[in-house]
Amino acid sequence: MRTCGILMPVSSLDGPFGAGTLGREAYAFVDFLSRAGQGVWQILPLGPTGSGDSPYQSCSAFAGNPWLIDPELLVQEGLLEEADLDPVRAPNTGRADYRLLERTRLPLLRRAYENFLAARPLPGCDTPYSDEYYRFLFLNQDWLEEYALYRAAQKENDAKPWNEWPLPLRLRQPQALEELKERQAGEIGFWKFVEYLFWKQWKALRDYAASKGVRILGDMPIYVSMDSADTWAGGPLFQTDGQGHPTRVAGCPPDYFSEDGQFWGNPLYDWDYHRSTGYDWWIRRIRHALDLYDLVRIDHFRAFDTYWSIPADAATAREGRWEQGPGMDFFEVLGKKLGPLPLVAEDLGEMFDSVRRLLAQTGLPGMKVLQFAFSSGPTNEYLPHNHIPNCLVYTGTHDNNTLLGWMEQEAGEEELRFAMHYLRPGKREELPQAILRAALASCADTCILPLADWLGLGCEGRINTPGVVGGNWNWRVRPGRLEDSLACLIRVQCELYGRCERQADLSSSPD
């Protein structure tokens, strides 16, 4: 069935708290999607953001981002007073204010935790904890215990990376861990509480989206950050020297985005060890992701075939080499353990024939990005006439400029001439809308378009520029932009190309 959706990070929503949250603006966006005939909301990873405020450099592959917890919902629950929110409010300037969040959000959540602990016990109970809270702790204990312990140790060690902690703690010696648990029992409890709040608010939002016919397409980064609970607790899962230092790290070779390639710095997996465990950690990770989302996009899919391996001390990613990933064995084991998987393969970047074969073997839908379509003539796989139904088509992803920004700042003259000849818009300034319509017209089963392209924004609407440090991940939609007129325009366009149920009279639709 043909469907359509919008790419919009939760942090990019409107709202009064420095960045988007899981509160009323998120519900309003679901309503907007429903009015616009959209069946999918694609988001970015929901984990705690890391270096450069990136959601792809998280300190946990399982945890939720405390910045996304909505303070107003905590007031409704009685965990905060309305006056508590005054220090954390800020006008939406069109950019997320992560420094405000760093200063104010955790103190606010600590106050909520104090109030949570001070609440009267429930009838017949000796603690204020509800059955729902205990159930959350029980169902998530396989990662939550280590994550809370990691956070407590991080606080005790002045936020230093775990491989700079005292040796007994770095090497997870049993006595050091037990002593940490005793010293930091309160801090450990706090981080479990934070994750409970995130889960509770996210579950309510996802249930609301489902009631409106909107599925959530989540994003699962293939790698984890070196400074993370996963690497601290994971040990042999990663290519390290046994002392907490990576030996080889992730990235990608020189490409469209960077002449020197991209040096991501994430520790690489020891795939032989993962295979020996039946991919247990991955099975738990994907099962957890499917508890959060309806569909899951696996970032950097090609690394399951071959991945770029860079010496940890290399100057640039150019010093890397291709190494073999787990291949089809990984997906066969997943299928046996978890059944049919609603996964999407991010199959962008340098594509070897072996990567294409792996994608075909898995049967997963890949991605077609129209900004890449106009550079190499009619055989370009991203051109609409070369699409297949089993794929998702985009004008651009979170790593691309907006259509207008691409046209004005990045596309070469030859690309633009080809695009004009291929799409035949009346004027060059109409090319972004022509590309948007070409995405909707594609035979791809699913079309996902960034909100910034529907809004007609230029480079100010870009989410991330790969290879550039600073200034990323902070775009936000300004107040008042999600109007009914825009929802109507989107719906009419999507109806025209058979991507949502018909409600409008197309004969009187706007051009």
Catalytic positions: 299, 346, 399
**Cα 100 versus chain centre, distance:** 22
Query: Which residues contact residue 467 at a Cβ distance below 8 angstroms, ignoring those fewer than 6 apart?
Result: 257, 258, 262
CB 435 within 8 A of CB 419: yes
The amino acid at 359: L
Coil vs helix vs strand at 267:
strand
By DSSP bridging, strand 248-252 and strand 262-267 are antiparallel
CB 133 within 8 A of CB 200: no
Treating both helix axes as pointing N-terminal to C-terminal, what angle do 484-496 and 431-441 enclose, rounded to 10 degrees?
Answer: 50
Provide φ and ψ at 347, rounded to 5°.
-105, 40
Provide φ and ψ at 250, rounded to 5°.
-90, 160
Rounded Cα distance between 203 and 221, Å, is 21
Q: CA dist 490 to 33, 433, 481, 504, Å?
A: 9, 12, 13, 11
Query: Which residues contact residue 209 at a Cβ distance below 8 angstroms, ignoring those fewer than 6 apart?
Result: 30, 33, 41, 215, 216
Which strands make up the sheet holding 321-324, listed edge to edge? 262-267, 248-252, 306-311, 321-324
Q: CA dist 57 to 136, 152, 463, Å?
A: 25, 19, 15
Coil vs helix vs strand at 269:
strand
Query: Which residues contact residue 48 at a Cβ distance below 8 angstroms, ignoring those fewer than 6 apart?
Result: 58, 59, 60, 63, 64, 65, 66, 67
Plot region of 297 (φ>0 → left; ψ -120 to 50 → alpha; else → beta): beta
Which residues, in sequence order, are bridge partners of residue 297? 219, 344
CB 190 within 8 A of CB 11: no
